[in-house]
Structure 1
Amino acid sequence: MTEESQNTALSEDARKLFRGDCQFMLGVTTMAALPPPDLPEFAFAGRSNVGKSSLINRLTGRKALARTSNTPGRTRELNFFDLGGRLRLVDLPGYGYAKASRSAVESWTGLTRDFLRGRPNLRRVHILVDSRHGLKPVDEETMSLLDESAVPYQLVLTKIDKIKPTEAARRIKAVGEAIGRRPAAHPDIIATSSETGDGIAALREGMTSIAAT
C-alpha cells in the first residue's frame, strides 16, 4: 500500500491533526524543566541512530522539524514537539553507542528513565527497532522498565525498505514472539520507512485515537 493510499484511509481527525500546526517546543535536560503534563504525550525511544528524528519528521510532514544526524548519540535532550495544542511528540536520547563522555551519557540516560517511569500524561512509548538488526538487549531492558512501570508501549520497526519482504516478515514474527508475554506491550507491530512512508498512517491514526480518549 502506497503512502497516498494509506493517507486516504486516515480518519478526518488524524488527517487534520498531522497536517496542522506542529512546532518544536523545547529541549530539556532535567525533570524540573519538563513542560506541564497538560497534554497527551507520545515518546519515541530506541538505540542511537535507529531513526527517531527521521520518523518524527515524516510523521509531521516536515523535512527538518526534528534534527537528524548520521552521528549516533546526537540527541542529548528530551525534545518536545507540539501538534496543534492537542498532543506532544517527545524525541528521547538514543540509548547505546554515543560519542560522549561517560558522565554525559549517564546523565541523559538517567533523565530518560525518570521520564519514562514518572510522566503521568505519557500515553504511549514507541520503541523503535532497526529492522535490519532486530531486538537488542538494551531494547529488552527498556521494555522491562516500561513493564515494571505499567507504561504502555508499541514496537515500531524502522528502515523496513532496507530489507526484503521475506526478511521483513520474519523480523515482524520474531519481534512479535519476543513481546508476547510482556504485560505493557501492544500486540501490533508497525513496520515503517521514513523514506517510503510505510506505516506512517498507522502511527498517525493510533496516536490520534489514543489522544482523543
Structure 2
Amino acid sequence: MEDELDQAALEAGRRLFAQECRFVWGAARLDQLPDAGLPEIAFAGRSNVGKSSLVNALTGRKTLARTSNTPGRTQQLNFFDLGGRLMIVDLPGYGYAKVSKSQVAAWNHVLRHFLKGSTVLQRVLLLIDSRHGLKDTDREMMDMLDQAAVSYQVVLTKVDKPKQAELEKVIAETEAELRTHVAAHPVIVRTSAEKGTGIPELRAGLAALAAS
C-alpha cells in the first residue's frame, strides 16, 4: 500500500508540473505585492545556489526562471502561476557582497512583509549548496523564517558534485542545526537540477500543498 501511495504521489507531482507555468507578476516594493490567491511555495537561497536551475528542472522548462553567472540577478519577488493550482514565488538571492547595503535593506523589508503578511504561503524551500552547507546568511534567513512562523524545508542543490562522504557530512550537520529551529521541516531534500536527482520527489511534496 505504501508503494502505491508513493507512486500516486509521484504521479500527482508529475501531472501538476506538466501544467502550463507562466510568469504573472514581479514585485520589488511593498505596494507591488499581489493580493492573496493560490497557495504559494517560495524558493529562497544564496545567490548562485542554483535556484533558477531547480525551478526550471521542476517545471521542465529551460528558460522559465532566468539563469545567470552573475549573482544577484533576481532583484524582485517573481510570481509564477502553475496550472492555476500553485503560485511559485522566486525570491531574490541573498548573500551577494556587491549589492549595496541600502538595496539589501530594501529587499529584506519587502521580504519580511511578504513572509509575515501572506495568508496563502504554504512553505519556503530554502536552497543550500551541498558543497558548502549552511552559511551565516542562510542562518539569518532561517531566523527570519522562524520569526515569521513560516514553515520551511531545506533543499540541497548540486548533490552530484561533492563526494558521498562529504555530502553525508553536510546532511548530518544540517539536520542537527535544523533541530534547533522551530519552523524548520525535519526532512532534507537532495536534488541535482543537472542530473534530475530528487526532482520527482520534490514535485510530489509540492503537489500535496497545491490547490485541488
- Taking structure 2 as the reference length, what is the TM-score of the superposition? 0.92
The Cα of 1:49 is off from its aligned counterpart by 0.9
Structure 2 counterpart of 1:64: 63
The Cα of 1:25 is off from its aligned counterpart by 1.1
Structure 2 counterpart of 1:78: 77
The Cα of 1:104 is off from its aligned counterpart by 2.3
Identity of aligned residues (%): 56
* Structural mapping, 1:187-198, within 5 Å: 187-198=186-197
Deviations 1:125-153 (A, max 9, x none): 00111111110111111111211221100
Segments of structure 2 that go 5 or more residues without pairing to the other structure are 1-5
Structure 1 counterpart of 2:94: 95
Which letter maps to 1:36? D
Which letter maps to 2:190? A
Please state whether the residue corresponding to 1:106 is helix, strand or coil.
helix
Give aligned pairs, total.
207
Please state whether the residue corresponding to 1:157 is helix, strand or coil.
strand
Classify 1:183/1:100 alpha carbon distance in 2 versus 1 (closer, same or farther; 3 Å). closer
CA distance in 2, matches of 1:140, 1:100: 19
Structure 2 counterpart of 1:174: 173
Q: Is the 8 A contact 1:131 1:158 kept in 2?
A: yes
Structure 2 counterpart of 1:4: none
Structure 1 counterpart of 2:15: 16
> Cα RMSD (Å) of the superposition?
1.7
Structure 2 counterpart of 1:136: 135
Which letter maps to 1:113? R
CA distance in 1, matches of 2:159, 2:84: 31
CA distance in 2, matches of 1:98, 1:67: 20
Segments of structure 1 that go 5 or more residues without pairing to the other structure are 1-6
The Cα of 1:14 is off from its aligned counterpart by 1.8
Structure 2 counterpart of 1:28: 27
CA distance in 2, matches of 1:199, 1:12: 14
Please state whether the residue corresponding to 1:24 is helix, strand or coil.
strand
Please state whether the residue corresponding to 2:79 is helix, strand or coil.
strand
The Cα of 1:196 is off from its aligned counterpart by 0.4
Q: Is the 8 A contact 1:48 1:98 kept in 2?
A: no
CA distance in 1, matches of 2:15, 2:97: 37
Which letter maps to 2:74? T
The Cα of 1:183 is off from its aligned counterpart by 1.4
- Taking structure 1 as the reference length, what is the TM-score of the superposition? 0.91
Which letter maps to 1:115? F
Please state whether the residue corresponding to 2:208 is helix, strand or coil.
helix
Q: Is the 8 A contact 2:86 2:211 kept in 1?
A: no
Q: Is the 8 A contact 2:19 2:83 kept in 1?
A: yes
Which letter maps to 1:89? I
* Structural mapping, 1:94-173, within 5 Å: 94-173=93-172
Which letter maps to 2:192? S
Runs of 4+ off more than 4 Å: 7-10
CA distance in 2, matches of 1:18, 1:158: 19
